Homo-oligomer: A and B are copies of this chain.
Amino acid sequence: MPSNIHPVFDKSLGRGSKEESLGQRGMVIWFTGLSGSGKSTLAIDLENRLHNEGLVTMMLDGDNVRTGLNANLGFTEEDRTENIRRIAEVAKLFVSAGVVTLCSFVSPTKDIRHLAKSIVGEEDFHEVYVNASFEKCAERDVKGLYKKALNGEIKGFTGLDSPFEAPTDPFLEIDTENNSPEESGTKLFEVFFPLVRKK
């Protein structure tokens, strides 16, 4: 090491120091489920609740990822995998900064969720299965996608002509078909708040 570089300057700030300072534990909360199942609604709600408790959060979803980092990816199987790979790597970076990172993506297959989990690391990855039936999601049709898909205007639509493999052992399952958003939001908060806060 050259004499003009002082060793103390090279001490990179670790995740532990950041978590300590923030009074929280960084982690990924990964919402998976059909389009319209309520993933983003619940993630946004949880983010708001945690924020109100003074916790530092980040939300990753199609809106901010597909328009930026992953704007150069399409919807081939290869690109879908790369999409999730990048998201998981970014989520891992946020976790290294001590941030509670909420990811809301259909992520329909066990393989793709396993990829995300293996990148983030098992101890930091919390899978939340947002469960509502295809029929219920099609009935809600928040984005009008189900109508199009059922009319044959979208190919490879998850739950129709592309499989959704339900998680068999999620960290948490939220049934949005039989519970109100308020009930589901409360449950999520009650599960994650104690895990996240360090103070």
**B41 A9 Cβ-Cβ under 8 A:** yes
A12 within 8 A of B: yes
A118 within 8 A of B: no
**A4 B181 Cβ-Cβ under 8 A:** yes
Contacts of A119 in B (CB 8 A): 68
Chain A residues with a Cβ under 8 A of chain B:
1-2, 4-6, 9-13, 17-18, 21-22, 38, 41-42, 44-45, 47-48, 51, 54, 56-60, 64, 68-69, 72, 82, 86, 89-90, 92-94, 96-99, 119, 139-140, 142, 176, 180-182, 185
Please report the C-alpha to C-alpha distance between residue A120 and residue B2 in the assembled complex, in whole angstroms.
34
* This protein's copies in its complex: 2
A/B interface sample: 29 pairs, CB < 8 A? A2-B140, A4-B176, A4-B180, A5-B38, A5-B140, A5-B142, A5-B181, A6-B181, A6-B182, A9-B45, A10-B44, A11-B48, A12-B59, A13-B51, A17-B51, A18-B51, A18-B56, A18-B57, A21-B56, A56-B56, A56-B98, A58-B93, A58-B97, A60-B93, A64-B96, A68-B89, A68-B93, A72-B82, A94-B97
**A2 B142 Cβ-Cβ under 8 A:** yes
List 4 other contacts, CB 8 Å, given A18-B57, A69-B93. Answer: A4-B180, A5-B38, A5-B181, A94-B97
Contacts of A94 in B (CB 8 A): 94, 97
Contacts of A58 in B (CB 8 A): 93, 96-97
Please report the C-alpha to C-alpha distance between residue A171 and residue B178 in the assembled complex, in whole angstroms.
55
Contacts of A48 in B (CB 8 A): 11, 13
**A51 B21 Cβ-Cβ under 8 A:** yes
B1, B56, B93: the one contacting A90 at CB < 8 Å is B93
Question: Given A68-B93, A69-B93, A142-B5, are A13 and B181 also a contact pair (CB < 8 Å)?
Answer: no
